[in-house]
Amino acid sequence: MVNPSPRTAAKADPAVPFLDLVSQHRALEEELVVAFRGAVRSARFVGGPEVAAFEREFASVVGTAEAVGLASGTDALRFAYLAMGVGPGDELITVPNTFIATSETITQAGGTIRFVDIDEATMTLDPAALAAAITPRTVGIVPVHLYGQPADMDPILAVAARHGLWVVEDAAQAHGATYKGRPAGSLGALAAFSFYPGKNLGACGEAGATVGNDRARLDVVRQLREHGQAKKYYHDSEGYNGRLDAIQAAFLRIKLRHLPAWTDGRRRAATWYREALADVAEVHLPTEARYARHSYHLFVIRAERRDALQAHLTQEQIGTGLHYPLPLHLQNAYRGMGLRKGAFPITERTAATCLSLPMFPEVTESQVARVADAVRRFFRG
């Protein structure tokens, strides 16, 4: 086959990745390398001043008294539930449209999962469904600030107060988001953050944190991350190895300084999408709740013929994702709960129609325009 000459070849549109961590790290490379060198030279790899400094700085950004650096967001949830005292028979209410880390850690902490459906506009825990689901065994509520949109915390906290329940926020996707001006993660008894690389604030590996104002419970989290020890080799309980690496803490300190600008970048991209897709009636755009400053961890549209639309975008070299394709109550892992299709209609409908478009702070207006054009062409031909 004869290759077409460069002059006659059609100019291919460049691909638009779903997430571009390479650009972000290229801009930070020198600083990250210096931090890495510092860790190697000091040989402080676990705990130490970098972890303590990151904990202070992150707590100050979230507006809580303390943050406890951990090995993952999953540990942050599990340890938060354990610190709240979850025991056998205790029910925790959460949503079925989340990543399984929210719920598997309930079981791992010894509790029982109780799912309730979401509010269609915000995609987060429906306060009315919550109130109806409380039983005498309910002890806690776990709203998930999904995609960077905070759950409607005031009515949730009011229901909690009325029934004597605690609230732990799953803020894994909500760094930089606010609820009525207050940071997501500062509203419940405790909150869990993930610093998985693709998150709005991501490490260069696995990391997480539990944050809050309750120093006694955060002391429990601190013990749990270190095999239940109060001081070296003296164990008040069994625990876990859930510590944050010093190298990751050093990387996170560098990246934390960029979080406000990155959140602005995501919000700018969301505005471009809204403008570019405003005339495509087949596409249901995500809402930003009146109470919220959405941090757009993900930009999730909903549309009929979602699978065909996704295939079309893949063919156009546009990266997409599904968050999430199968609700938790219909997963094999939860077959034992006996929940069937139809149990949570809004979550199920969302799972069938959701599509996450490319979203990252560095995405350009022309990349967004290219995605929007491809979406428009799919519906309009």
Give the nearest distance from C-beta 101 to ligand PLP in angstroms: 4
Please tell me whether residue 136 adopts helix, strand or coil conformation.
coil
Q: Among residues 172 and 252, whose Cβ is nearest to ligand PLP? A: 172
Please tell me whether residue 240 adopts helix, strand or coil conformation.
coil
Binding to ligand PLP in span 89-118, by CB under 6 A: 98-99, 101-102
Stretch that binds ligand PLP, among 43-51, 68-76, 161-169, 181-189 (CB under 6 A): 68-76
- The H-or-E segment that residue 254 falls in is helix 246-256
| Nearest CA-CA partner of 138 in 171, 115, 122, 170 | 115
- Written as one string, the DSSP assignment of 10-64 is --PPPPB-S--HHHHHHHHHHHHHHHHHHHHHHT--BSSHHHHHHHHHHHHHHT-
Q: Does the footprint of ligand PLP cover residue 226 (CB under 6 A)?
A: no
CA separation (Å) from 197 to 25, 135, 270? 11, 38, 21
State which of residues 24, 64, 72, 138 lies at the interface with ligand PLP (CB under 6 A): 72
Give the nearest distance from C-beta 94 to ligand PLP in angstroms: 10
Residue nearest to ligand PLP (CB): 73
Give the nearest distance from C-beta 97 to ligand PLP in angstroms: 10
Give the nearest distance from C-beta 240 to ligand PLP in angstroms: 13
Binding to ligand PLP in span 116-175, by CB under 6 A: 144, 170, 172-173
Q: Among residues 183 and 208, whose Cβ is nearest to ligand PLP? A: 208
* Alpha-helical segments (H) within 100-152: 101-108, 127-133
First vs last Cα of the chain: how many Å apart? 31
Q: Among residues 16 and 151, whose Cβ is nearest to ligand PLP? A: 151
Binding site for ligand PLP (CB under 6 A): 72-74, 77, 98-99, 101-102, 144, 170, 172-173, 194, 196, 208
